């Protein structure tokens, strides 16, 4: 019964052709078939959000999408935000705010927050907390993640495109 | 936690979806957003022989208004309902976007669909409860064409609906606006399934309740309407005590399940309080 | 020798972490990111029963599954299990088999190992193995396990006691309790929880034919221990085993023990000569891994009329599951509980008996705090209960009992030596921050408006940085404690510090670099910290028990001091002055008071390697130094304060304010210290209000998913306000004390006290964690019923 399907997925702008089993989740396709190991697996049941990527621009849990469902789609992962020498403003802000410790949940938060700030350019603190509550973190107690998102939102609002320094 | 193997088919239209379901047989399932189905498959609690993916049938994704009737296409995502700002579409139906915010989290709402929730019939589902509250109709496509099923006839036992194995939900229709409506829910964490949810829709007449509708989720295998409490409220004055009594009346006949998140007795207590709160908010008083 | 006249530059500075870029950019490397060619994936067939005999295992169906390459059972591998030992007469040694052979002792125990081309196929294979079990009666709780005639989890452990230690027994205790004005007698319980790091356990092993050794990549907190253990169990020379820990996605103690799966993966790789990887999924992590903190305390505490604690008697039982964890053993919880229960209070007359009770549930490991969240909960609840009975204020009763500055070093009733701490000051600061003086008025106003609000405190000291002598007193057969650091300066002047600790979120790549940079007059980014590879790091004990900054940092400081002296000597020689006349600052060796006369560190490094003939007489060529550090241990302390509101209709508890006043001595990086407090408090909030691993009467897990095991989201964790005090430690080379567990230690007690304060007027007292909304509602109902019946609430 194992069916294999040929799919084409664009990841951070690069199109990949790959053959996968129908049951292969998008996160496993990204990590193991295509080598984008920046996205992580935390629960495989859609609760923790560590696997969050953008699928055709929308934040989704990649463990709840089968790869075959993403055929022809545009996917953005953490690797597309920036690299070590040129971190994006959001990534810089996370570092300045100490919004990561072990870093395992971090890519999921970065993708979640990227979509959230795009859709909510002037969020209230309550809206930020509600959005950040989408994903689990076990190390930071969320304090600095909230601070980082607040800073990033304020920096974007002030239009200077800079990373912003957390207060 | 990897799913068992299955055959995968993508349907380009409703007709094709129905044909695929007929062909693949009883063990095939429809998948749209997958937010409810895929976790079950990961635990191998659900092991469909085949998935018929209807997620790309664009014609099924809409939120539209036809006079009083609100029509939600099966593939409208939770987020589509939550953020719809098209003038006039959700007027009088404000309870729906407010309820959407209780459904999981933002990245679940971008994928999960209205029709998916209705078809999956989780006993704590907000959409199922509101469909029952507002006397909605579920449109279903099958090999013999389209039929409409009233919400009160649609939900049955645990995760069981009137949907046949070869049928697909296409639309949910709400017949009339309910501007005096509210939902209150108790969950352990933000985004969790409700332990108990309560909703109320009132027709008010100058400080009196002309009629009341009350629905609950999480108190049984399927959502329920609190018929006795509704009847007792008809004609009464709006007020905290009347609503508290209605809450007690709504809770009394319930026999909710017990699990690690709450015993049957606790769920009954929650039901009474949440019904009162929903009624009060629907009537615009402190509650 | 850095210039003493120049300000210390990096210690105390919130330097951005050097490890951040790779973690932010998705360039990190966790075990599951490593995928060598011909990799085989592992899934386990796990027991559905908590107690059973295994009658038959038939793997034929599994081998036939497409993609499955091999299936191993205990008989196929024929390897010894993990056998952790405490050298105590009151401890019963048991063995944790790698794969169950004839019996299973907990649900989800691994019985067969399936290796396949994909994890999906391995799981298909595990499903297809036919195993005949003869289920037997299981014990699911302490009460069941110690009842007469209870089935034994291990034949050797009579009464299901793996440890029964009557540790302390002051001869005047009973008299003290008899003479007390008030004796609080209470039973307290704490529910089973687990660390649940975002990355579960994971292990990849590959046989290297060139070097004829096995390379084990593992998500772990103590790489050197993994190496020795695998070598011992597989019968390999330790030189033939290399352990590499890449990035580790959290540990919290779950990963400081060596589990079955790590050894099995190495064994399979050696046998099959193919790389083998097992990645723990979340279901395994919650139901088949290591748990903690399920304890019961039966206590009597006597107080005089002024609220002074006169005596404390405790019967402590820990539900430790079916096996002892390696190497700490299941004794770790009851022993730590017994020894540290007296806490930060003045106490002489003390009795404690600690038991490790075996049940048919997964084994425990030392999860963050290790009994200290529980003893703090117990002791702090006793303080509040006594205060209420004596009509004393909660802060006042503590003020009368906390050890005061003039009493340090203080020998506790359990024989521990507490070094300097700020117990009283931290309580005062916390009370001030929460406006304690106005509390009763605010609470009365709120009650008049139907709101139930409460305020609670917890004071505690946190034993950290245990060196070898401290561990030795536990009589573990494997005694951790010391730490090592090797530092090397390369010919270009770059510094590499190799350590035996294992940062998994704590930021050592930055904090150790800060320490080294201060000594050498460099910047942190000039210092590369290497950890986690047994080939390139000195033997060490990894990261757990709040040890790394004090012990690891201490070893780093000493090694770098030695290196700095050598650099100074060579630089001075090149400058033609005496070593005492130079300072290291801004990347150069310069003459003290004449900074224009200097030689770049890079030039000194070149000379040491490429011009050894120019070195001073007697100087060794090259620039390396090594040091160890092995302190007796040091205590940090904190006071937590929480303001809560209880919803009388749902029983839900909201946290309105949370304040921490903590003292961990010298702070190397304040951002990192605050981050540890935040994360610890979040786990403490979780333990107080949300998380519980539920097992039914047959020891079946009922909360094995993240939907049921309630790790809090950002919506459940309040803003955490932190204030710092600084009491230096004489036992730390840097003055820093450990503090990583403090947040988790203080929170459950503060919240339990706050909820009790909110409901005390209704006669409700919290005696168990987690506090569920349903429990609150039931307690309120019982209170109303008592009043209705004409009694007290």
Q: Which residues of C45-79 are buried (b: 16+ CB within 10 A; e: fewer)?
A: bbbebbbbebeebebeebeebebbbbbbbbebbeb
Compute the distance between CA of residue C485 and CA of residue C497 in angstroms, rounded to an integer. 7
pLDDT at A2: 58
A164: in domain? no
Query: Residue C505 corresponds to which tokens in the numbers above?
Result: 């979120």
Distance between CA atoms of residues C339 and C416, nearest Å: 8
Query: Scanning the structure block, which residue is given the tokens 């971190």?
Result: A87
For C243, the enclosing helix (H) or strand (E) is strand C241-244
Q: Clarify whether residues A76 and A98 are in a common domain.
A: no
pLDDT digits (tens, 9 = 90+) for C119-137: 999 999 999 999 999 999 9
Q: How far is C22 from chain A (nearest CA, A)?
A: 6
| Among candidates A45, A63, A134 on the partner chain, residue whose Cβ is nearest the Cβ of B106 | A134
Please report, for the domain that includes residue A150, its CATH number: 1.10.150.120
Task: Answer yes or no: are the C-beta atoms of A111 and A78 closer than 8 Å.
Answer: yes
Of the candidates B109, B111, B115, B130, the one whose C-alpha atom is nearest the C-alpha of residue B74 is B115
Q: Looking at the complex, does the CB of residue C23 fall below 8 Å from at least one CB of chain A?
A: yes
* B285 interfacial to chain A (CB closer than 8 Å): no
Question: Per the structure block, which two tokens stand in for B30?
Answer: 């429809």
CATH 3.30.450.90 fits C295-468+632-788, yes or no: no
SS3 C587: coil
Q: How far apart are CA B24 and CA B27, in angstroms?
A: 7
Q: Specify whether the CB–CB gap between B254 and B219 falls below 8 A.
A: yes
pLDDT at C620: 87
- Of the pLDDT bands very low, low, confident and very high (cuts 50, 70, 90), residue C336 is very high
Query: With 0-12 CB in 10 A as exposed, 13-18 as middle and 19+ as buried, what is C291?
Result: buried
CB C658 within 8 A of CB C642: yes
pLDDT surpassing 60 at residue C1: no
C281 touches chain B (CB under 8 A): yes
Interface test with A, best of B106, B109, B187 (most A CBs within 10 A): B106
The reply to whether C295-468+632-788 shares the fold of C34-136+200-280 is: no
Separation CA C312–CA C299 (nearest Å): 7
Does the structure's ipTM exceed the value 0.90?
yes
Q: Which residues of B touch A117 (CB under 8 A)?
A: none
C206-235 mean pLDDT: 98
Instruction: With beta carbons less than 8 A apart as the criterion, state whether B168 and B180 touch.
Output: no
Q: Closest to B260 (Cβ–Cβ): which among C650, C703, C715?
A: C703
- Does C711 touch chain A if contact means CB atoms closer than 8 Å? yes
Disruptive mutation site among C116, C128, C646, C649 for chain B (greatest number of B CBs within 10 Å): C649
Tell me the residues of B at the C interface, defined by beta carbons under 8 Å apart: 1-5, 43-44, 186, 188-193, 260-263, 266, 269-270, 273
CA A110, A114, A119: angle at the middle one, nearest 5?
150
- 3 state SS of C379: helix
Indicate the residue among A60, A80, A100 that finishes a domain: A80
Task: Report CB contact under 8 Å: B5, A23.
Answer: yes
Nearest to C196 among A37, A138, A143 (CB): A138
Q: Label residue A158 by pLDDT band (50, 70, 90).
A: confident
Given a cut of 90, whether residue C210 has pLDDT beyond it is yes
Mean pLDDT of chain C: 97
Q: Is A152 among the domain residues? A: yes
By the CB < 8 Å criterion, does A113 face chain B? no
How far is C-alpha C783 from the geometric centre of its chain's CA atoms? 38
Q: How confident is the model at residue C619 (pLDDT cuts 50, 70, 90)?
A: confident
The verdict on A60 touching B (C-beta cutoff 8 Å) is yes
Please check whether residue A27 lies inside any domain of the structure: yes
User: In the numeric block, which tokens belong to residue C117?
Assistant: 């081309």
For residues A156 and C192, the model is more confident at C192
Could you report the per-residue pLDDT of B169-205, keeping only the tens digit for each?
999 999 999 999 999 999 999 999 999 999 999 999 9
Which of A80, A115, A144 represents a domain boundary (last residue)? A80
Statement to judge: residues A71 and A30 lie in one domain: yes
Q: Which domain holds residue A142?
A: 89-158
- Model confidence over C554-605: pLDDT tens digits? 999 999 999 999 999 999 999 999 999 999 999 999 999 998 999 999 999 9
- Cβ atoms of C768 and C190 within 8 Å: the answer is yes
Q: Do A134 and B8 touch (CB under 8 A)?
A: no
Other C-beta atoms within 10 Å of B143: how many?
12
Helix (H) or strand (E) holding C349: strand C349-358
For CA atoms C573, C577, C581, C586, the dihedral sign is: negative
Evaluate the omega torsion of the peptide bond into residue C343 and state whether it is cis, within 30 degrees of 0.
no
- Kindly state whether residues A73 and A95 are assigned to the same domain: no
Is C717 an interface residue toward B (CB < 8 Å)?
no
Residue appearing with tokens 């409490």: B229
Does B38 sit within 8 Å of A66, measured CB to CB? yes
> Which residues are paired to B96 by β-bridges?
none
Tell me, yes or no, whether A107 and A139 share the same domain.
yes
Write the DSSP symbol of residue A138. Answer: S
Does residue A95 share a domain with residue A123?
yes
Contact of A11 with chain B, judged by CB distance below 8 Å, is answered with no
Query: At B100, phi and psi to the nearest 5?
Result: -55, -35
Same domain assignment for residues A127 and A61: no
Contact assignment for C652 to B186 by CB distance below 8 Å: yes
Q: Looking at the DSSP assignment, which residues form a beta bridge with residue C242?
A: C215
Above 80 in pLDDT, residue A146?
Answer: yes
Nearest in space to C286 (alpha carbons), one of C222, C198, C374, C154? C198
CATH number, domain with residue A29: 3.10.20.30
Closest Cβ opposite residue B2 in set C120, C649, C712: C120
Residue A66: its chain B contacts at CB < 8 A?
8, 31, 34, 38, 51
What distance in Å separates the CA atoms of residue C127 and residue C59, rounded to the nearest whole number? 10
DSSP one-letter code for C200: -
Q: Could you tell me which residues come within 8 angstroms of residue C519 by beta carbon, excluding any fewer than 6 positions away?
A: C1, C2, C557, C560, C561, C563, C564, C584
Spell out which residues of chain C touch residue B257, defining contact as CB-CB under 8 Å.
none
**pLDDT tens, residue by residue, B105-121:** 999 999 999 999 999 99
Could you give the CA distance from residue A124 to residue C184 in angstroms, rounded to a whole number? 48
Question: Last residue of a domain, which of A63, A80, A97?
Answer: A80
Rounded to the nearest 10°, the torsion over CA C726, C727, C733, C739 is -70
pLDDT digits (tens, 9 = 90+) for C508-566: 999 999 999 999 999 999 999 999 999 999 999 999 999 999 999 999 999 999 999 99
| Among C627, C363, C580, C329, CA closest to C483 | C627
Does the CB of A61 have a partner CB in chain B at under 8 Å?
Answer: yes
On whether residue A167 sits in a domain, the answer given is: no
DSSP state letter for C533: B
CA-based nearest distance A133→chain B, Å: 7
Cβ distance B140 to B167 under 8 Å? yes
- How many domains does chain A fold into? 2
Contacts with C14 from chain A: Cβ below 8 Å: 98
CB B95 within 8 A of CB B82: no
pLDDT tens-digit readout, C353-401: 999 999 999 999 999 999 999 999 999 999 999 999 999 999 999 999 9
CA-CA distances (angstroms) from residue C355 to A103, C98, C145, C328, C694?
38, 25, 12, 15, 21
Buried (b) or exposed (e) across C369-394, using 16+ Cβ within 10 A? bbbbbbbbbbbbbbbbbbbbebebbb
A142 with A112, same domain: the answer is: yes
Contact B1 A133 (CB under 8 A): no
- Assess C714–A contact: CB distance below 8 Å, yes or no: yes
* Mean pLDDT value across residues B231-255: 97
Q: Which two tokens stand for residue C357?
A: 């009770």
| Partners of C529 in the β-ladder | C497
pLDDT at A3: 81
Query: Tokens 């799919």 sit at which residue?
Result: A7
With contact defined as beta carbons under 8 Å apart, do C397 and C308 qualify?
no
Pairing mode of beta strands B69-73, B50-53: unpaired
The set of chains that have 3 or more CB pairs under 8 A with B is A, C
Q: Dump the DSSP string for C631-686.
A: ---EEEEEEEEEEEEE-TTT--EEEEEEEEEEE-BS-S-HHHHHHHHHHHHHHHHH
Q: What is the distance in angstroms between the Cα of A158 and the nearest Cα belonging to chain C?
A: 24
pLDDT at B37 over 90: yes
Please give the interface size between B and C, counted as residue pairs whose CB atoms are below 8 Å apart. Answer: 53
- For residue C436, list its beta bridge partners: none
What would the pLDDT profile of A67-100 be if each residue is shown by its tens digit?
999 999 999 999 999 999 999 999 999 999 999 9
Whether C777 and B269 lie within 8 Å, measured CB to CB: yes
Q: Which CATH number fits domain C34-136+200-280: 3.40.50.1860, 1.20.120.530, 3.30.590.20, 3.90.1170.50?
A: 3.90.1170.50
Q: Which helix (H) or strand (E) holds A119?
A: helix A106-119
Sort residue C545 into left (φ over 0), alpha (ψ -120 to 50) or beta: left
Tell me whether residues B5 and C124 touch, CB distance under 8 A: yes
Residue A163 lies in a domain: no
Is the Cβ pair A95, C21 closer than 8 Å?
yes
What pLDDT is stored for residue C115 in this prediction? Answer: 98
Q: How far is CA B112 from CA A4, B35, B75, B109, C780, in A?
A: 25, 5, 8, 5, 39
Per-residue confidence band for C3, with pLDDT thresholds at 50, 70 and 90: low
Taking the Cβ of residue B84 and every Cβ of chain A, the question of whether any pair is shorter than 8 Å is answered with no
Name beta bridge partners: C461. C637
Residue of A nearest to C669 (CA): A98
Beta-carbon separation of A107 and C705 below 8 A: no
Residues of C in contact with A140 (CB under 8 A): 675, 678-679, 682
Q: What is the pLDDT of residue B253?
A: 97
Pick one of 3.40.47.10, 3.40.1160.10, 1.20.140.10, 3.30.365.10 as the CATH number of C20-27+482-629.
3.30.365.10
What residues of B are in contact with residue A131 (Cβ under 8 Å)? 106
Has residue A161 got a pLDDT over 60?
no
Q: Do B189 and C710 touch (CB under 8 A)?
A: yes
Cα–Cα distance for residue pair C772/C173, rounded to 1 Å: 35
Contacts of C702 in chain B (CB under 8 A): 260
- The percentage of residues in chain C with a pLDDT greater than 70, rounded to a whole number, is 99
Same-domain check for residues A104 and A134: yes
* CB pair distance less than 8 Å for B5 and A63: no
CB atoms < 10 A from the CB of B173, how many? 17
CA–CA distances in Å: residue A66 to residues A22, A63, C207: 7, 8, 34
What's the confidence (pLDDT) of residue A157? 81
Q: Identify whether the C-beta of residue C322 lies closer than 8 Å to the C-beta of residue C363.
A: yes
Q: Which residue has the tokens 């429990």?
A: C775
Boundaries of every domain in chain C: 20-27+482-629, 34-136+200-280, 295-468+632-788
Does A53 share its domain with A94? no
Please, are residues B24 and B49 in contact by the beta-carbon 8 Å criterion? Answer: yes
Unique residue bearing structure tokens 């299941």: C330
- Note whether A103 contacts C717, CB cutoff 8 Å: no
């Amino acid at each position: 019964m194992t069916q294999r399907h040929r799919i084409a997925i664009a990841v951070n702008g690069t199109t990949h052709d790959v053959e996968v089993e129908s049951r292969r989740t998008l996160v496993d396709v990204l990590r193991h078939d295509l080598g984008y190991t920046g996205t992580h697996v935390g629960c495989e049941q859609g609760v923790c959000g560590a696997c969050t990527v953008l699928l055709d621009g929308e934040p989704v849990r990649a463990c709840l999408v089968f790869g075959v469902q993403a055929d022809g789609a545009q996917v953005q992962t953490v690797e597309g935000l920036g690299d070590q020498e040129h971190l994006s403003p959001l990534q810089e802000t996370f570092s300045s705010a100490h919004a990561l410790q072990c870093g395992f949940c971090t890519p999921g938060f970065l993708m979640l927050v990227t979509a959230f700030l795009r859709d909510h350019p002037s969020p209230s603190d309550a809206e930020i907390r509600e959005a950040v509550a989408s994903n689990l973190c076990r190390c930071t107690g969320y304090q600095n993640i909230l601070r980082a998102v607040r800073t990033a939102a304020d920096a974007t609002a002030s239009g200077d495109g800079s990373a912003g320094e957390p207060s | 936690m990897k799913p068992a193997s299955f055959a995968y088919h993508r349907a380009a239209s409703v007709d094709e979806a129905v044909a695929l379901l007929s062909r693949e047989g009883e063990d095939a399932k429809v998948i749209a957003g997958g937010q409810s189905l895929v976790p079950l498959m990961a635990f191998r609690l659900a092991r469909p022989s085949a998935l018929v993916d209807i997620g790309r049938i664009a014609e099924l994704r809409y939120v539209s208004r036809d006079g009083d009737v609100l029509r939600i296409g099966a593939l409208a995502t939770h987020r589509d309902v939550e953020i719809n700002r098209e003038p006039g579409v959700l007027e009088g139906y404000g309870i729906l976007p407010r309820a959407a915010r209780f459904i999981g989290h933002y990245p679940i709402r971008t994928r999960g669909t209205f029709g998916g929730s209705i078809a999956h019939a989780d006993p704590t589902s907000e959409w199922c409860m509101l469909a029952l509250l507002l006397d909605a109709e579920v449109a279903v496509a099958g090999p013999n064409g389209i039929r409409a099923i009233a919400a009160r006839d649609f939900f049955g036992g645990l995760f069981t609906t009137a949907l046949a194995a070869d049928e697909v939900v296409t639309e949910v229709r709400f017949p009339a606006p309910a501007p005096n409506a509210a939902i209150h829910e108790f969950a352990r964490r933000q985004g969790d399934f409700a332990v108990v949810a309560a909703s109320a829709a009132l027709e008010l007449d100058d400080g009196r309740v002309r009629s009341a509708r009350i629905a609950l989720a999480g108190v049984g295998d399927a959502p329920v309407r609190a018929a006795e409490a509704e009847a007792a409220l008809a004609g009464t004055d709006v007020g905290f005590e009347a609503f508290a009594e209605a809450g007690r009346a709504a809770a009394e006949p319930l026999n909710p399940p017990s699990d690690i998140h709450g015993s049957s007795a606790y769920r009954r207590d929650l039901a009474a309080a949440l019904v009162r709160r929903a009624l009060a908010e629907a009537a615009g008083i402190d509650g | 020798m850095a210039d003493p006249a120049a300000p210390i530059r990096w210690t105390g500075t919130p330097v951005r972490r050097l490890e951040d870029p790779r973690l932010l950019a998705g360039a990190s490397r966790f075990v599951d990111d490593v995928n060598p060619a011909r990799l085989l994936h592992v899934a386990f067939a796990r027991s559905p029963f908590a107690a059973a005999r295994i009658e038959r295992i038939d793997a034929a169906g599994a081998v036939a599954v497409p993609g499955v390459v091999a299936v191993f059972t205990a008989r196929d591998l024929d390897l010894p299990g993990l056998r952790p030992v405490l050298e105590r007469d009151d401890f019963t040694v048991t063995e944790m088999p790698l794969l169950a052979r004839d019996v299973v002792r907990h649900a989800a125990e691994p019985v067969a190992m399936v290796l396949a081309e994909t994890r999906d196929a391995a799981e298909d294979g595990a499903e297809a193995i036919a195993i005949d079990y003869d289920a037997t009666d299981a014990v699911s709780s302490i009460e069941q396990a110690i009842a007469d005639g209870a089935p034994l989890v291990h034949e050797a452990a009579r009464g299901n006691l793996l440890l029964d230690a009557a540790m302390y027994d002051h001869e005047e205790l009973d008299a003290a309790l008899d003479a007390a004005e008030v004796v609080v007698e209470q039973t307290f319980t704490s529910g089973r929880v687990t660390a649940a790091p975002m990355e579960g356990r994971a292990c990849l092993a590959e046989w290297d034919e060139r070097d004829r050794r096995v390379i084990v990549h593992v998500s772990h907190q103590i790489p050197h221990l993994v190496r020795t253990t695998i070598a011992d169990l597989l019968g390999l020379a330790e030189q033939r085993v290399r352990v590499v820990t890449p990035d580790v996605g959290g540990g919290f103690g779950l990963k400081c023990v060596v589990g079955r799966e790590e050894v099995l993966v190495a064994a399979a790789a050696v046998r099959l000569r193919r790389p083998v990887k097992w990645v723990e999924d979340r279901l395994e992590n919650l139901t088949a891994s290591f748990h903690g903190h399920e304890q019961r305390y039966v206590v009597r505490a006597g107080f005089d009329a002024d609220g002074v604690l006169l005596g404390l008697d405790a019967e402590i039982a820990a539900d430790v599951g079916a096996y002892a964890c390696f190497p700490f053993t299941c004794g770790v919880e009851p022993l730590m509980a017994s020894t540290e229960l007296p806490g930060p209070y003045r106490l002489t007359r003390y009795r404690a008996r600690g038991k490790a009770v075996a049940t048919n549930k997964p084994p425990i490991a030392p999860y963050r705090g290790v009994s200290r969240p529980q003893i703090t909960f117990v002791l702090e609840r006793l303080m509040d209960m006594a205060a209420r009975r004596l009509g004393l204020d909660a802060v006042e009763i503590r003020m009368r009992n906390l050890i005061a500055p003039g009493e340090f070093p203080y020998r506790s009733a359990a024989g521990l030596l507490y070094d300097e701490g700020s117990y009283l000051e931290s309580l005062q600061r916390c009370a001030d921050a929460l406006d304690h003086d106005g509390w009763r008025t605010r609470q009365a106003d709120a009650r008049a408006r139907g709101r139930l609000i409460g305020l609670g405190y917890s004071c505690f000291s946190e034993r950290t940085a245990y060196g070898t002598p401290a561990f030795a007193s536990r009589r573990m057969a494997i005694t951790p404690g010391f730490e090592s650091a090797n530092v090397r300066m390369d010919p270009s002047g770059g510094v590499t510090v190799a350590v035996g600790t294992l940062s998994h979120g704590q930021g050592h790549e930055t904090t150790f670099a800060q320490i080294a940079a201060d000594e050498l007059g460099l910047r942190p980014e000039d210092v590369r910290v290497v950890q986690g590879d047994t080939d390139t790091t000195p033997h060490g004990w990894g990261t757990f028990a709040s040890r790394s900054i004090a012990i690891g940092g201490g070893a780093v400081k000493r090694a770098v001091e030695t290196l700095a002296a050598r650099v100074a000597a060579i630089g001075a020689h090149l400058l033609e002055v005496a070593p005492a006349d130079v300072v290291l600052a801004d990347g150069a060796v310069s003459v003290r008071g004449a900074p224009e006369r200097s030689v770049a560190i890079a030039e000194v490094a070149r000379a040491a390697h490429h011009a050894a003939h120019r070195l001073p007489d007697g100087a060794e060529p090259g620039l390396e130094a090594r040091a160890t550090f092995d302190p007796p241990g040091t205590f940090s302390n904190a006071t937590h304060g929480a303001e809560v509101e209880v919803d009388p209709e749902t029983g839900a508890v909201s946290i309105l304010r949370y304040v921490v006043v903590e003292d961990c001595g010298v702070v190397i990086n304040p951002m990192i210290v605050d981050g540890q407090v935040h994360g610890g408090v979040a786990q403490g909030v979780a333990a107080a209000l949300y998380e519980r691993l539920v097992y039914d009467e047959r020891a079946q897990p009922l909360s094995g998913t993240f939907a049921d095991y309630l790790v809090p989201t950002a919506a459940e964790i309040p803003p955490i306000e932190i204030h710092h005090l600084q009491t230096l430690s004489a036992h730390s080379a840097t003055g820093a004390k450990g503090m990583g567990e403090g947040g988790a230690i203080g929170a459950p007690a503060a919240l339990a006290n706050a909820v009790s304060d909110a409901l005390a007027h209704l006669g409700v007292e919290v005696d168990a964690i987690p506090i569920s909304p349903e429990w609150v509602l039931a307690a309120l109902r019982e209170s109303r019923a008592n009043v209705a019946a004409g009694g007290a609430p």
